A and B are shown apart, each in its own frame.
Chain A
Amino acid sequence: MPRRARILSRAAGLRAYFEEAGARPVETPVLQPAETLLDLYGEDIRGRAYVTWDALRGELMLRPDFTVPVVQMHMTHGAEPARYTYSGEVFRRQEHDPDRDNEYIQVGYEVFDRADPAAADAEVFTLIAGTLSGLHLRAATGDIGILMAAVAGLETTGARKSALMRHIWRPRRFRALLDRYSGRAPVPGARAALLASADPMAGAGPQIGLRSRADIEARIEALRADAAAPPISEREMTALEALLAVRETLPFALEHLRDVAVDLPQITPALDRLEARIAALAARGVDVEHLEFEASYGRTSMEYYDGFVFGFYAATRADLPPVATGGRYDALTRALGDGSEIPAVGGVLRPGVMLTLEEAAQ
């Protein structure tokens, strides 16, 4: 059988397995309206997705993943609770690495259920893990919700917290903001001069463009307010750094994070959710004593996840993309839900990578 046929047949088997587990099979269009994806991910998505165009519908993208269209479908006419599975091609523009596929088959499983998020997290993780036994993969887990809770509860201004929250998924900008808000990085010269000036708009030259004088004055006001606010404390900064550095097996990670919660009590509810998830995983037979947890996991590549995140990797094949990834994306249902929202968690498998590993093992 040619390789593509083998991948498709493998994908069909995986989809049937998810159907057996209670999921309803769904299809989504390959062409997705670009506007939705651009609103969610910003201009960066153009570097990762193929864009096309027609005069009637405007810009369209070749589906870079299933999650967004499946969430949209569920939010417009899904009944609750719901479990979906799908199998099909996704397209990823590859401009830096010709060895990475720009078109491949994904099989996914998504759960929309309000009842017991910890159980739903464990359900998705174990169902996916169940398809991967024998491949000798390394599982990585994390929880972006803990960092988000830490930021939301910092003893600082709302403006700072929303700026940090906006950059949770861009670690470098997040770090630069933290350094500035804590006073670790010096105020840039131009900023200091602007704040010291009695009339910052003097000598500004003619007002051109759509960003109005009122826009500029509003930002100067915001900068003044920020300069007057006390820095984020050394205690909170040290605790945040300790949080971000946690990387151990689950039980030890939880213990460490409980220590961090002495200085960042706002993360306690998120840690209770982590503890419930560990129990739910253990109840489903997962060896949690040896499961890795990394607090920073999923911050760079998984933009819509805002809680539990996981991935399965071939430890000896760093050249291969992850075999499976997934996580919780409650915030995405809010962004696409037009006023409604629902807790949601899911994951995807790459049957092509599974086959590559199986063939290499033979």
Chain B
Amino acid sequence: MSVKLGVPSKGRLMDKTFDWFEKRGIRLSRTGSDREYSGAVEGIGGVSLVLLSAGEIPRELAAGRIHMGVTGTDLVQEKLPRWEQQVEEIAPLGFGQADLILAVPGCWVDVDTLDDLDAAAAAFRARHGFRLRIATKYHRLVRDFLTDAGVADYQLVDSQGATEGTVRNETAEAIADITSTGETLRANHLKILGDGLVLRSQATLWRSRVAQCDAAEKQALDALLKRVEG
């Protein structure tokens, strides 16, 4: 068998990952038709390419079904409890930068910090009869962050897409989402809290701490690590 390298299966993230490996003399490519998720590896022996959705890569690493994988810090930390024990960070790849942030409507001139958010949430609950809703798909990260900050009287509501629109649509009062430039936030009349940075994320190469290796795979993995770490 060979060492399995998991890479996002489409879009800019895949292209930039391919470029990053190419610079290190490893040529990754998709094979077959555009719709078929199979790939080829040239320039190093004993490594095979597994194309996956970026969101599935943390789970595959933690299950030991792939030895190495490329995905965002945000996804690893949201999906894997005690992620440090399941995966090891090998190299940040320098692209796919995005911040997980807390944002509120720009018209909330009285809310600029978590302290304000907490006070606004208490008043909101007293006035409207339910806890202030924060839309996100990063439930664990956001809840841990707010618990740590001692914010109360909020609730998380699930939003798997178009999260910035939830406030205007009145299904949430605030949001926690990934942003890179902040443009979508501004277009939706939202602003980031001054101390509302939950996590800085970028595309990162990870190594599974649990994936098993036979002697040949161990050799191939060491060779791969040497190339990407150097």
Contacts and interface: CB of A to CB of B under 8 A. Distances in A.
A208 B105 contact: yes
B128 A210 contact: yes
A190 B124 contact: no
B162 interface: no
A96 B82 contact: yes
Interface string A193-217: 0100000110011111111010110
Contacts of A218: 123
Nearest to A216: B110
Contacts of A176: 115, 150
B161 to A, nearest CB: 19
Interface string B145-171: 011111111111000000000011010
A95 B139 CA distance: 13
Contacts of A38: 131, 155
A46 interface: yes
B197 interface: no
A284 interface: no
B150 A173 contact: yes
- Find the residue from A38, A206, A213 having the highest chain B CB count within 10 A: A206
B170 A210 contact: yes
Contacts of A359: none
Interface in B81-117: 81-82, 105-113, 115-116
A130 interface: no
B118 interface: yes
Interface string B50-71: 0000000000000000000000
Interface stretch (A108-116, A136-144, A162-170): A162-170
Interface residues of A, number: 40
B107 A205 contact: yes
B150 A167 contact: yes
Given A46-B143, A166-B122, A204 B109 contact: yes
B144 interface: yes
A220 interface: yes
Contacts of A205: 105-107, 189
Interface residues of B, number: 45
Contact of A220 (B109, B115, B147, B172): B109
B120 interface: yes
B152 A209 contact: no
B213 to A, nearest CB: 24
A43 B109 contact: no
A170 B150 contact: yes
Given A96-B81, A190-B194, A209-B168, A215 B189 contact: no
Interface in A54-89: none
Contacts of B127: 215
Contacts of A339: none
Contacts of A174: 150
Contacts of B155: 38, 42-43
A223 interface: yes
- Find the residue from A210, A213, A223 having the highest chain B CB count within 10 A: A210
B171 to A, nearest CB: 9
Contacts of B111: 219
A44 B143 contact: yes
Contacts of B81: 95-96
Contacts of B167: 208-209
Interface string A149-171: 00000000000000100110010
- Find the residue from B108, B113, B143, B156 having the highest chain A CB count within 10 A: B108
B225 to A, nearest CB: 28
Interface in A2-52: 38, 42-44, 46-47
Contacts of A43: 131, 143, 146, 154-156
Given A44-B143, A209-B167, A190 B112 contact: yes
A201 B106 CA distance: 10
The 9 closest A-B pairs by CB, nearest first: A173-B150, A190-B112, A170-B150, A205-B106, A204-B107, A95-B81, A209-B167, A219-B110, A208-B168
Given A44-B143, A213-B107, 9 more contacts: A172-B150, A173-B151, A194-B112, A204-B106, A208-B167, A209-B173, A211-B124, A216-B108, A219-B120
25 contacts: A42-B153, A47-B143, A166-B152, A167-B150, A170-B152, A172-B148, A172-B149, A180-B115, A188-B112, A188-B115, A190-B112, A190-B113, A190-B194, A194-B110, A200-B110, A201-B107, A204-B107, A205-B105, A205-B106, A206-B107, A207-B107, A209-B168, A210-B128, A211-B173, A219-B123
